[in-house]
Amino acid sequence: MDERNLCLHELFERQVRRTPDATAVVDARTTLTYAELDRRADVLAAHLRSAGVAPDAAVGVYMERCAEYVVAILAAMKAGGAFVPLELAYPPSQLEDVLSDCEPIVVLTKEAHAGRLPDWQRGFRMDVEEPATSDETPEPPRVDRENLAFIPYSSGTTGKPKGIANPHRAPVLSYLWRYGISDYGPDDRVGCSVFFVWEVLRPLLRGGASYVIGDDVIYDPPALVRYLEEHRITEIQMTSSLTEAVLDASGPDLAERLPDLKTVWVCGEVVTKTLARRLLEALPHTCSYNLYSIAETHEVAVTELGEALGHPESTYCPVGRPARPERLYVLDDGLRRVPEGEPGEVVVGGEMLARGFVNLPEKTAERFVPDPFAGEGGARMYRTGDRGRMLSDGHLEILGRADFRVRIRGYNVELGAVEAAIETRLAVRACVVVSEGDEGEDKRLVAYVVPEPEDDHRFSGWDLDPKTGRSKEIRSALRDALPHYAVPAVYVELDALPIQDTSGKVDRKKLPPSPPRQARPGRDGDLSGVRLTADASRSEKEDLLKRIWEETLRLDEDEVETDDNFFDLGGHSLAAAQLSGRVEEGFGVHVSMPLFMEDPTVGGLCDRIEALQRDEDGEARPSEVDLRAEAVLEPEILPEGGETKDLRNAENVFLTGATGFLGAFLLDGLLSSTGARVHCLVREREDEDPIETIASNLESYGLPVDGMDRVVPVVGDLGEPLLGMDPEKFDALAREADLVIHAAAAVNLVYPYPALKAPNVGGTREALRLACRRRTKPFHFVSTDGIFPPDAELCEEDTDLDSLAEAREDGYGRSKWVAEKLVREAAGRGLPACVYRPGFISGHSETGASNPRDLQGAVLSESLRLGAAPEVDGWRLEMTPVDFVAAAILDVASKPEALGGTYHLANPEPVPAETVFDWLEEGGYVLDLVPHEEWSNRLEAAPPEDENGPGGVLRGASPDAADLSDNNVYDDRNTRRILGEDGPTRPDLNEDLILTYARYFAARGWAPEPASLQESGRQG
């Protein structure tokens, strides 16, 4: 029978007959031969048929990637059904949504995960249950290539889980096409990880072995390289980002360490030519491919990276010639072909298409449309939403998912946004910005400007160099309005812009040429051979460093200042690695990455170079921080005994953080629900009374100040010994206070641990000292869910704290881990203590009063202001209203039985970001979902008017996609148990709550009113 007409499991069974004793699957604990894998799958398939699985029925697979996972998916297909991959990272609500949508007959899982399935969902625990056997087991059903094989789910752009119904036909034809490019044999060992569902079966149909790489390895580049080396992996498929991370973490001996690695596939993201060149140089004997593949269409196109790198027409590496050139189209918005070389939407037809989307007929009709170019009735094509263009030699180039824009040094730049910034900030009547040169060091932005009269209120200090067209003054004036890469390098003054007679638009073709590039006097740009010793002057060293930075970051001459931060100028891990090598060439010393990160400025780097040049071996490392050693509590911090009070009968409460967001609501709750005097730590400010500082903070969130007669300001400093108090005051407060609520912290997601140690670790240490001194006082500590790693998935309240010691790399999470460890140490000495771990604390559920410094709220408000929201796969919003967080802490603090516990206050059921944006659109807001990179560019190009509002949080610190796609779910069983039915109830994260926040943002001027209100305002 023609193998094109077989099903996936039939092709596997054919291979079993050919190589029964060959290794098929290997994971960390198990190795299965083809015969063993087939036997286990047959037994499980019989069980599934007895359970009612029939052709096209869904069978869920809910477990970590492992050998049993492969058994499960083969058994599902052998039983006639289609397997549905269910991610362990799904929150409960999303898991229920997917299960409700696909209605699996049974979910194959393991004991560790079965408890998370809904009560109504039938499950089978493969590691503890035996498959049922019976003489009455139904015979294997007849299935053909049009029956469903698997149904992967993706959130799509609407927030509703979207199942993609893939028949056997699609992956079989896809695999057979791939075999024609790169086939497998008995010696092939294929690493399967990122694209597991798509990868793991492909080798098993041709005699290769599939090696299951766990998430703990795949996202740790050094560990991944060790795995590939130790297991002699011959093939792996990775994203561009992962490929770059592996290269960043590897030395020049990568090819020597991986002599068996024959094939690398790069897929899922655009491949730059720089990355392609690095990969080819690092692995010269490995065949590297650039693959374009989509879940709804399977493989679309592929090419060898060596061929793609040398393509003369493309900006990025092309993805090669399509698998079916006659069924791939680049179309305009009206689904008409665009000319060769012009950008348009990539649309794919042919036999590798999925059936459509499960239970979404309208969405299916919208994306799977009739193919008018096929010449056959009933043919369909899939609208990918990707932008691309067909090159003259038939290669396809993918441009991304946004409108075509210029790229400067790898960044997308919207020219219109640059023009708008110039017209806003500078005294110009008109402006046009163009890009000239090729991508790389020679590409630059040129601004043609028509100046206004000199008395214009905007900046008019041109001071242009007529030979170069450069102006340091203009660049400085634009630096706070545009990201560094979007600030034009050259400016040309014109009396008027040339206009097309027919359209009335600017005729860019008639713009005069820009000033030619000028050779740098005495600086030819080639730094090879330039070496400065310790005897060189400081100015000579800084000048060389600036030149190195300009070359590394592809900046213009004199663009770098001594106090510029490398990462503010666009640096990243790859550029920092390049910088390190150039510094070693130029100065003869090696500055390690951690040492550089302590002060990534020209001045800071120069300090470290000089210190290393004085050192004999030219090598140094920053002091390594041993968090366990940091988390040692002094012996004298020991509870002194005495009767303790809970919040119900406390007469004096010591509160830190009252001048912050959560602290304001804690103070309000203390004043409204108790009769206690509240002693509030507050830093002294010039020209402001401490009590006024506390009161103005309450008023800023709409909270009453009529209870201020019970507030006692305690002037001090969180980062100082004894909290900045003199010994007598500290001792007096220790005698008077009955209970401590420590809610203050320095929150900064960029600073390293040493920068946050004093306020977060030292402050907690001193607060514990106060709680223990004179008489024992219950201690309530506000920690963070940020002590868990972003890939922890299920985060439990009673997780062993020691297991998280190495979980975080950011300074804030590490400092809070040490602080929480100190609290636990004090509790072990007899101090009654509670630990609270909130997540993203959102605004008040009724008033909307929000923290202008909150990252997630800032992303929302800025999206409303821009009219665009970032589209990030896996992004779910975890938002817990501040009124609930404060009320829950105070409720727990009133219950003696709660002492000693840890309480999660993060929302255990985050909502997909797409759903939140849908709610906002239903509320009248206009929001376009755009790629994250484009959203970041728009953000940087359109700064907010109020730098003290949420927009100020994101200036120069826009969260990357990884920051938003946190898959953790925070279990809160302890919290629910102790709050009980009579305690505070967490408000639902729903449309009403989100619109409450949006109205608050609008009232504060952070975001616009809904379009409907704006329209009525104009009409009125």
DSSP per-residue string spanning 511-548: SPPPPPPPPBTTB-S--TT----TTS-HHHHHHHHHHH
493: its two tokens: 């003054």
pLDDT given for residue 558 in this prediction: 72
Q: How far apart are alpha carbons 532 and 585 in whole angstroms?
A: 9
- DSSP alpha helices (H): ranges in 867-1003? 882-893, 913-922, 932-941, 950-954, 961-964, 973-979, 991-1003
Judge whether residue 513 has pLDDT over 70. yes
Residue 167, pLDDT score = 97
CATH number of 652-856+877-911+967-987: 3.40.50.720
CA atoms within 13 A on the CB side of 969: 20
Q: Calculate mean pLDDT across residues 732-751.
A: 87
Nearest to 718 by CA among 779, 660, 762: 762
- Check: CB of residue 26 under 8 Å from CB of residue 67: yes
Does the reported pTM lie above 0.75?
A: no
790 within 8 A of 812, measured Cβ to Cβ: no
Token couple for 906: 């993060």
Q: Cβ–Cβ contacts within 10 Å for residue 206, how many?
A: 19
Whole-number percent of the chain with pLDDT over 90: 46
CATH code reported for the domain at 538-620:
1.10.1200.10
pLDDT in tens, 844-877: 999 999 988 788 888 898 889 888 888 888 788 8
Residue 490 CA to residue 447 CA, distance in Å, equals 6
Q: Which of 477, 469, 472 is nearest to 494 (CA)?
A: 469
Q: Report the 10 Å Cβ neighbour count for 728.
A: 8
* 805 CB neighbour count, 10 Å cutoff: 17
Nearest to 225, CA basis, from 248, 201, 198: 248
Supply the DSSP string of 934-969, one letter for each residue. Answer: HHHHHHHHS--S-TTSHHHHHTT-PPPHHHH----E
Phi and psi of 527, rounded to 5°?
A: -95, 0
* pLDDT tens column, 358-389: 999 988 998 999 999 988 888 999 998 888 89
pLDDT bucket at 402, cuts 50 / 70 / 90: very low
3-state secondary structure string, 404-444? CCEEECCEEECHHHHHHHHHHHECEEEEEEEEECCCCCCCE
The mean of the pLDDT values for the chain is 85
What residue segments make up the domains of the chain, in order of their start? 1-22+32-167, 406-510, 538-620, 652-856+877-911+967-987
CATH of domain 1-22+32-167: 3.40.50.12780
With CA atoms as reference, report the closest residue to 725 among 682, 777, 677.
682
**How confident is the model at residue 456, as a pLDDT?**
56
Q: Say if CB 446 and CB 454 are below 8 A apart.
A: no
Mean pLDDT across 636-662:
91
The pLDDT tens digits for 917-937 are: 999 988 888 888 888 888 888
Of 369-383, 468-482, 653-667, 823-837, where does mean pLDDT reach its minimum?
468-482
User: For 1004-1010, what is the mean pLDDT?
Assistant: 84
What integer is the mean pLDDT of 746-766?
Answer: 82
User: CATH assignment of 406-510?
Assistant: 3.30.300.30
Quick one: pLDDT at residue 461?
A: 63
946 band by pLDDT with thresholds 50, 70 and 90:
low
Residue 142's CB: how many other CB atoms inside 10 A?
Answer: 8
What number of other Cβ atoms are within 10 A of residue 3's Cβ? 14
44: helix, strand or coil: helix
Same fold: 1-22+32-167 with 652-856+877-911+967-987: yes
Strand 153-154 and strand 162-167: the pairing is antiparallel
Specify whether the CB–CB gap between 766 and 681 falls below 8 A: no
Predicted confidence at residue 365, as pLDDT, reads 93
Phi then psi for 263, rounded to 5 degrees?
-140, 135
Q: Taking phi first (over 0 means left), then psi (-120 to 50 degrees means alpha), and beta for anything else, what does residue 641 get?
A: left
Residue among 34, 352, 17 nearest 204 (CA): 34
Neighbours of 259 (CB within 10 A): 11
Q: What is the structure's pLDDT at 872?
A: 85
According to DSSP, residue 870 is labeled E
